Copies of this chain bind each other. A is one copy, B any other.
């Protein structure tokens, strides 16, 4: 029984003319039916989306719309960009509807759409907060985020059209976009929104409607950025990704979420306009980000200050920001780069971010969130404010951008897993592994796997095209020693076979799941002398409650020479494979343990043996606030290599 539509809705649908290496499965179906991600998507549907609707009510976002629609008296509540949370939730509900076909959910969405209809001004402008708060439109675009809100509205509208075939919201979005085309541009109002997202939204609206003016306005917004025209007393051009034009930038910088959204929009633009120079610049920027500014969890943006990227290798653990929204934005960017280039590094990135830095943003129960995703909480951490993860997960935030962002990613997850080849190469590419069915490019494939707990993936062919065609399987860069059908397959590449496939055939992919110790580049000072533990796509974390009783997490040292055992625990944290290994308890360092800095003579670091236990990073902070760490000091290590 399939509740899903014949055609997979997708947030990113390049036009036929777009210069892409790979295409989303638009004329087929990708269904994840069982296992790890199916469970998360189900929780998203049953717990997180309904919770989101409640929170939009209690935090005032929906009330703001009623006020703007003239149905209620009062003043808007929440941040300037409160509307965007509604739109992200709508987008999430719409993508989810593609699978659930839940009529009540659709009706709930359409109720909000009717509110928006009533709130939209005759000229197309739509914002529930700004007119009532400042009286005037577009007076403070660096912070009012009117374009940002419009971008999220457009994305929600596209989602509702593609998943449910309902165009009411699309009409509102078109009205708003037409108004923007009227007002903004090189010969008109040249102001730029402080927070990108409108760029990718306008390209997608162009893809959905064919109206070229939207593409042109997106092109203007991307082109105009980088001339330091966004003025603010409290943030410089870097913060806004406005210091260097996108096509000249060598690195991502400033506010991480803004940088990710801008890059995603620029990638959309590059493929639709055949702008190879822009695409090459984006490849360089992604490479620089991945190799100098990304946490081992996939997290992005190391500074609380300005929610921003820091300098290369500036990756503190406890003060990591690594906003959940930045993980969402990075997956969106990576997906567009994968479509554009076909390079496996982008699919590796999607896997890595989703399983780690992204998924850590929501509790296993789906009812609490992290805004900030650190790599360490110490026993001595003093939490401060509603975003501080040291105080535990939160049901919502004053600035609630992350929860609905997480919802829309989980609801559209199936869209990021499989592609079909461009005209020349054809075939189907499996980028992510999850049990389910793929109908694409003439294939019907059934995938069975217990990934990420097991590295075995079976792909059974129910139907195949009546001509020679390619099946590609991504071999993750971490999977040295992977095999397909018993033959070694190179890691960090696609294993591809082009042949005439027969129904009943199957492929056996075997990814090596031995636990791995990972070391950081020595320039990452926060990881120096330490290791992180990984298995498959998962980065692991040490929570204090799992360590020997009476021990303090910060006093544990991992013995890199000892073996690591794997045990799958169905009873723990919704079912996880835990890793166990031997280490040491550090003794006090010398005569005066109260001294912060001492001469070597007084250091005496290693005490008795201790059994250390690690759980997947994504599952941390589900057993109450406690100490946690990803990087753990280790015997040996790079500093020990005389």
A519 part of interface (Cβ distance < 8 Å): yes
Distance (whole angstroms) from the CB of A587 to the closest CB of chain B: 10
Which listed residue (B287, B304, B312, B596) contacts A378, Cβ 8 A?
B312
Are A603 and B523 in contact, CB atoms less than 8 angstroms apart? no
Chain A 18-59: CB-based contact to B (< 8 A → 1; otherwise 0): 000000000000000000000000000000000000000000
Which listed residue (B303, B603, B638) contacts A519, Cβ 8 A?
B603
A107 part of interface (Cβ distance < 8 Å): no
Are B597 and A554 in contact, CB atoms less than 8 angstroms apart? no
A291 to B380, CA, bound (A): 13
Are B594 and A291 in contact, CB atoms less than 8 angstroms apart? yes
Chain A 283-317: CB-based contact to B (< 8 A → 1; otherwise 0): 00001001110101000000111000011111011
Are B522 and A589 in contact, CB atoms less than 8 angstroms apart? yes
A634 part of interface (Cβ distance < 8 Å): yes
| Nearest CB in chain B to that of A302: its residue | B319
A641 part of interface (Cβ distance < 8 Å): yes
| A481-529 interface with B by 8 A CB criterion | 516-526, 528-529
Are A633 and B516 in contact, CB atoms less than 8 angstroms apart? no
Known contacts A378-B523, A380-B313; A606/B518 CB under 8 A:
no
A91 part of interface (Cβ distance < 8 Å): no
Are A291 and B596 in contact, CB atoms less than 8 angstroms apart? yes
| A589-642 interface with B by 8 A CB criterion | 589, 594-600, 603-606, 631, 633-642
Contacts of A600 in B (CB 8 A): 517, 519, 531, 560, 636-637
Are B603 and A638 in contact, CB atoms less than 8 angstroms apart? yes
Among A166-174, A274-282, A381-389, A569-577, which stretch is in contact with chain B? A381-389
Contacts of A367 in B (CB 8 A): none
A586 part of interface (Cβ distance < 8 Å): yes
A532 part of interface (Cβ distance < 8 Å): yes
A83 part of interface (Cβ distance < 8 Å): no
| Nearest CB in chain B to that of A590: its residue | B519
A238 part of interface (Cβ distance < 8 Å): yes
A312 to B517, CA, bound (A): 28
Distance (whole angstroms) from the CB of A520 to the closest CB of chain B: 6
Are A639 and B637 in contact, CB atoms less than 8 angstroms apart? yes
A128 part of interface (Cβ distance < 8 Å): no
Interface of A is mostly: loop
Are B597 and A296 in contact, CB atoms less than 8 angstroms apart? yes
| Nearest CB in chain B to that of A376: its residue | B525
Contacts of A642 in B (CB 8 A): 559, 606, 635-636
| Nearest CB in chain B to that of A316: its residue | B316
A557 part of interface (Cβ distance < 8 Å): yes
Contacts of A236 in B (CB 8 A): 384-385
Distance (whole angstroms) from the CB of A481 to the closest CB of chain B: 12
Contacts of A324 in B (CB 8 A): none
A317 to B314, CA, bound (A): 10
Most B Cβ at <10 Å: residue of A292, A378, A600, A633: A600
A521 to B531, CA, bound (A): 18
A597 to B304, CA, bound (A): 23
Known contacts A318-B311, A532-B597, A600-B519; A639/B605 CB under 8 A:
yes
Contacts of A317 in B (CB 8 A): 525
| Nearest CB in chain B to that of A598: its residue | B519
Which listed residue (B296, B305, B522, B605) contacts A305, Cβ 8 A?
B305
| A399-458 interface with B by 8 A CB criterion | none
A253 part of interface (Cβ distance < 8 Å): yes
A313 to B597, CA, bound (A): 11
Contacts of A310 in B (CB 8 A): 319
Contacts of A524 in B (CB 8 A): 596
A363 part of interface (Cβ distance < 8 Å): no
Are A638 and B522 in contact, CB atoms less than 8 angstroms apart? no
A530 part of interface (Cβ distance < 8 Å): yes
Contacts of A554 in B (CB 8 A): 313, 522-523
Known contacts A517-B599, A605-B522; A292/B380 CB under 8 A:
yes
Contacts of A597 in B (CB 8 A): 296, 518-521, 532
Are B380 and A312 in contact, CB atoms less than 8 angstroms apart? yes
Contacts of A381 in B (CB 8 A): 311
Known contacts A381-B311, A597-B518; A640/B638 CB under 8 A:
no
A594 to B317, CA, bound (A): 21
| Nearest CB in chain B to that of A516: its residue | B599
Are B319 and A316 in contact, CB atoms less than 8 angstroms apart? yes
Are A605 and B294 in contact, CB atoms less than 8 angstroms apart? no
A640 to B605, CA, bound (A): 9
| Nearest CB in chain B to that of A633: its residue | B639
| Nearest CB in chain B to that of A390: its residue | B311
Contacts of A378 in B (CB 8 A): 311-313, 523
A312 to B635, CA, bound (A): 24
Contacts of A589 in B (CB 8 A): 519, 521-522, 638
Instruction: List 13 additional contacts besides A303-B319, A313-B380, A559-B642; criterion CB under 8 Å.
Output: A236-B385, A291-B595, A292-B380, A305-B305, A311-B381, A313-B554, A316-B525, A378-B523, A519-B598, A519-B600, A522-B589, A526-B526, A635-B642
A-B contact pairs, 30 of them (CB 8 A): A290-B596, A292-B596, A296-B597, A304-B305, A311-B378, A311-B381, A311-B382, A313-B378, A316-B316, A316-B319, A316-B526, A317-B525, A380-B523, A517-B599, A517-B600, A519-B589, A519-B599, A520-B596, A521-B595, A521-B596, A522-B554, A524-B596, A528-B530, A529-B637, A589-B638, A600-B637, A605-B638, A606-B641, A636-B642, A639-B640
